[in-house]
Amino acid sequence: MLSALSAIAHLWLERVAPARDAYLLPAVAMLTSLGLLSIARTAPNFLARQTFALAIAFAIMLAITTRRDRLRWLRRFKYTWLIAGLALLLASLAFGVNPAGTGARLWLSIGDFFVQPSELLRLLMIAFLAAYFAERLEIGDRGLANPQPAASHLHSLAPTIAMALIALAMLLTQQDLGAASLLLLTYAFMLYLATGHARLPLGLIGALLLAAGAGYFLSSRVAQRLNIWLNPWADPQGSAFQIVQSLIAIANGGLFGQGINQGRPGYVPAVHTDFPFVMIAEELGLVGALAVLAGFAVVILRAWRVGLRARDHYSLLLAGGIAASLSVQIFIIIGGNLGMLPITGVTLPFISYGGTSLVVSYAMLGLLIRLSADVSRPLPASSRPDNHRAAAQATRAGAAMIATLGLAAGYWGTLRAAELIARPDNPRLIEAERATFRGAIHARDGTLLAYSSCVGAAQPLVRCPDWPPTPARYERRYAFTEAAPIVGYYSLRYGVGGLEAFADATLHGQRTWLDDALHRPRLGQAITSTIDAAWQQRAFSALHASPALTLPHGAAVVLDWRSGEVLALASAPTFDPNRLDEDWDRLRAAPAAPLVNRATQGLYQPGELLAWLFSLHGANPADLSTWRTTADVLGLGARVPFELPNEAVPLPATATYSETIGQGALRVTPLRVAASVASLVAGRPVTPTLIARPFEPSRASPVRNPAPFTGYAQIADNLFVGWHVRVRGNWVIVLALEVPHTNHPALRDAIQAIQPDT
């Protein structure tokens, strides 16, 4: 539709305004196309309304350009137009509504459509000021052309000041701070154009700053916006969420963008109205953002060119006022998107969603086209209006504003991009994780321990379609919960643990820059663990075998002493990784510490187990002088070379757990005991491993299989750990069970359950 409207407008303008500036309409059409793209991406339900408003906007633009009376209809009735705009604004105070249902009531409802009078008032104010100042300049009013004497100057400016104050009062009553700021700054620009003196405009800008300072202490809303602007990182998940997500989106776009429909601009609230520039920067990159700024630069600089070529004061002031208003509006909204200015809620001309804004912007375009057609040939320097020099300086100021925005966009999109993308509050990281097809974890016999599937799929290892209507999302599932202490967990909220953490790089998959550029789905690689499903089930059952323990506490390890492969690693109590997100708070608060893997983290006193190990090593346990030396040789006090973390961030031990285990000078983990026994049997150091590899028979001559050991070690006043260690064939079996007393039947039941079949 935009192409058809642009073609019709071009053909019509060739007839009614052949000498027009030929660059204005194409630049605006380009900006409008990006605006429609932004709305289609972020708020498609509003696209029909915006398209209807676009048709009205083109009709009004063509109607304005068709009149060849040098805009006398606008200049002659300047008071009438302005009073009509003030009346509409006053009506919005009494009968205003908000289409969202909440917030400031800045719109008037006309059937199913909404009109925002503040947008229309700004254009009518420009037309009024241009006509009023031009009239004073043309009759040679020294009070306007020269600020001396002050009385005459104030007398000339009195009507404009009165009108501006009335409009500002009504806007501030509605708490429309963005429109009020834009109106005041536009008035300051036009005052400078009319007088050529900067003192009064600078005074107005100073008054605006003083008002902002006063508002900081008198208005909680103003104070909040200023605090967000001064330090958005102080509350990135609260009041500053919008601006922080805006900067992250710009950084995510990088140089060339994520591609159309490939970004996530929806994470920025109100992106289709207040932050469309962010959507363009994310999906089209810094190149697209600079293209938007270049389009605005063309419109603004060509508008100033129209004013500089004007043959009278009115044309210069009207074109300059429109150019100044667009410059200020663009600087305020994009500057707010880039964190340079406080967020004001002003719309971005030709791009933001908003029918009134679009119609008014195209009305401004129509006025510029009509003026450019009427002043096609520049005047000689001697015939130029007196305020030509002020207009030239204002032109440079407008160009500087656009250049500053370009530098800021480049700063966030390149220099700070890596830092912003890596922020933990970047929701795109979570989205990328959800779209990752994480590799499966298998047992050595092929049993599926953990896998990913498309959300909602009934079968395991189901991939989402490559081009779904919605982003691909996978969920992690665990088919063998008895292996939870080994496999661990994978949670978008709480991180990774166990094998999921140990092999995260492989399971998560690697990507190249080409994969990112083509948005290929991330595919992880599967791993095969050394765990034997039958042994793991046996070890798990052993810890839960005795009916005498309602909640068993302990660990079981089965290790192949030839290869160091861990065949089973059980811990009790344990958890269900499928319900980790729901149960996390309860698991963290449980005194029994079910998230702690007792096989690798449970520190127990060895007790009589020391004597048995020393005898296997050939030392005399009765010789106390050899105990420390033998313990060092066996490495009982050292960490296990293979570390299997239970959590990405170590858990603090609960009070109850620290009281019942980990007492004494020499403390060992069940996995450490299994590794020491395996080293003694193999006659060489054995390092436990959980990742399957090709089996290589040991060249060392194994020692005799020692007799099984069963004994106790006291770990608290009323709590013992029952040890059972046995070497059977290639297997080293270690069982550590926390029981209330030494003759508790639970250890006997556990030993019977974990014995290998004969």
Stretch 666-693: mean pLDDT: 85
Q: What is the pLDDT of residues 316-329, one digit of tens each?
A: 999 999 999 999 99
Q: What is the pLDDT of residues 272-297, one digit of tens each?
A: 888 999 999 999 999 999 999 999 99
Stretch 565-575: mean pLDDT: 93
Identify which has the larger pLDDT, 112 or 376. 112
Identify which has the larger pLDDT, 621 or 143. 621
Can you tell me whether residue 723 is helix, strand or coil? strand
Residue 432 sits at φ, ψ, to 5 deg, of: -65, -40
Chain CA centroid to CA 128, Å: 44
What separation, in Å, do the N-terminal and C-terminal C-alpha atoms of the chain show?
82
Q: What is the pLDDT of residues 74-107, one digit of tens each?
A: 888 888 888 888 888 888 877 877 776 666 677 7
Q: Is the pLDDT of residue 68 over 60?
A: yes
Asked if 178 and 55 sit in the same domain, the reply is yes
- What pLDDT does 649 receive? 36
Q: Is the pLDDT of residue 711 over 60?
A: yes
Residue 382 falls inside a structural domain: no
Q: Are 292 and 34 in contact (CB under 8 A)?
A: yes
How far CA 510 is from CA of 438, 506, 515, in Å, comes to 11, 8, 9
Give the CATH number for residue 563: 3.40.710.10
- What pLDDT does 284 receive? 94
Residue 384 falls inside a structural domain: no
Looking at every residue in the chain, the average pLDDT score rounds to 83
Q: What is the pLDDT of residues 715-756, one digit of tens each?
A: 766 778 899 999 988 899 999 999 888 888 999 999 999 987
Residue 588 falls inside a structural domain: yes
Which residue among 471, 496, 528 closes a domain?
A: 528
- What pLDDT does 620 receive? 65
**Per-residue DSSP letters for 501-550?**
HHTHHHHH----HHHHHHTPPPBPPPEEBS--HHHHHHHHHHHT--TT-S
Positions of E strands within 622-718: 709-716
Which residue among 528, 555, 587 closes a domain?
A: 528
398: left (phi over 0), alpha (psi -120 to 50) or beta: alpha
Stretch 394-418: mean pLDDT: 93
Give the CATH number for residue 518: 3.90.1310.10
Stretch 661-665: mean pLDDT: 47
Q: Are 369 and 352 in contact (CB under 8 A)?
A: no
How many structural domains does the chain have?
A: 3
Residue 380 falls inside a structural domain: no
Can you tell me whether residue 466 is helix, strand or coil? coil
Asked if 566 and 701 sit in the same domain, the reply is yes
Q: Which residue type occupies 348?
A: L
- What pLDDT does 139 receive? 67
Stretch 554-581: mean pLDDT: 93
Identify which has the larger pLDDT, 664 or 729. 729
| Angstrom distance (rounded) from CA 131 to CA 415 | 47
Q: What is the pLDDT of residues 589-615, one digit of tens each?
A: 888 889 888 898 888 888 888 888 877
Q: Is the pLDDT of residue 376 over 60?
A: no
Q: Among 480, 397, 477, which residue's Cα sits nearest to residue 205? A: 397
Q: How many CA atoms lie within 13 A of 94 on its CB side?
A: 5
Q: Is the pLDDT of residue 248 over 80?
A: yes
Percent of the chain at pLDDT > 90 equals 38
Percent of the chain at pLDDT > 70 equals 86
Identify which has the larger pLDDT, 740 or 362. 362
Residue 383 falls inside a structural domain: no
Cβ within 8 Å of residue 538, ≥6 positions away: 558, 568, 753, 754
| Angstrom distance (rounded) from CA 354 to CA 116 | 9
Asked if 537 and 509 sit in the same domain, the reply is no
Can you tell me whether residue 145 is helix, strand or coil? helix
| Angstrom distance (rounded) from CA 416 to CA 251 | 7
Cβ within 8 Å of residue 517, ≥6 positions away: none
Asked if 93 and 219 sit in the same domain, the reply is yes
- What pLDDT does 383 receive? 47
Q: Which residue type occupies 654?
A: T
Residue 253 burial (CB count, 10 A): 29
The residues with which 731 forms a beta bridge, in sequence order, are 560, 728
Asked if 215 and 180 sit in the same domain, the reply is yes
**Tokens 């009335």 sit on residue:** 166
| Angstrom distance (rounded) from CA 401 to CA 399 | 5
Residue 381 falls inside a structural domain: no
Residue 411 sits at φ, ψ, to 5 deg, of: -60, -50
Stretch 666-673: mean pLDDT: 85
Stretch 175-204: mean pLDDT: 81
Q: What is the pLDDT of residues 129-172, one digit of tens each?
A: 999 888 887 765 444 544 443 333 566 777 777 877 787 777 66
Q: Are 107 and 168 in contact (CB under 8 A)?
A: no
Can you tell me whether residue 460 is helix, strand or coil? coil
Q: Is the pLDDT of residue 59 over 90?
A: yes
Q: Are 263 and 253 in contact (CB under 8 A)?
A: yes
Stretch 628-647: mean pLDDT: 60
Asked if 438 and 576 sit in the same domain, the reply is no
- What pLDDT does 652 receive? 36
Stretch 170-180: mean pLDDT: 73
Q: Is the pLDDT of residue 72 over 90?
A: no
Q: What is the pLDDT of residues 425-444, one digit of tens each?
A: 898 888 888 889 999 999 99
Radius of gyration for the alpha carbons in the chain, expressed in angstroms and rounded: 38
**Tokens 């909220």 sit on residue:** 493
Owning domain of residue 224: 2-375+390-421
- Residue 637 pLDDT level (bands cut at 50, 70, 90): low
- What pLDDT does 510 receive? 85
Asked if 363 and 449 sit in the same domain, the reply is no
Residue 674 sits at φ, ψ, to 5 deg, of: -60, -40
- What pLDDT does 380 receive? 53
Asked if 107 and 183 sit in the same domain, the reply is yes
How far CA 279 is from CA of 105, 475, 591, in Å, comes to 27, 28, 49
- What pLDDT does 646 receive? 40
Identify which has the larger pLDDT, 468 or 501. 501
Residue 100 falls inside a structural domain: yes
| Angstrom distance (rounded) from CA 314 to CA 310 | 8
Identify which has the larger pLDDT, 90 or 306. 306
Asked if 519 and 643 sit in the same domain, the reply is no
Asked if 207 and 154 sit in the same domain, the reply is yes
Residue 127 falls inside a structural domain: yes
Beta strands 441-442 and 566-572, pairing class: unpaired
Identify which has the larger pLDDT, 112 or 465. 465
Stretch 201-213: mean pLDDT: 77
Asked if 71 and 204 sit in the same domain, the reply is yes
Q: Which of 42-51, 358-367, 456-465, 653-662 has the highest mean pLDDT?
A: 358-367
Q: Are 166 and 86 in contact (CB under 8 A)?
A: yes
Residue 579 sits at φ, ψ, to 5 deg, of: -115, 25
Asked if 483 and 617 sit in the same domain, the reply is no
How far CA 627 is from CA of 615, 624, 670, 706, in Å, comes to 11, 5, 20, 20
Q: Is the pLDDT of residue 45 over 70?
A: yes
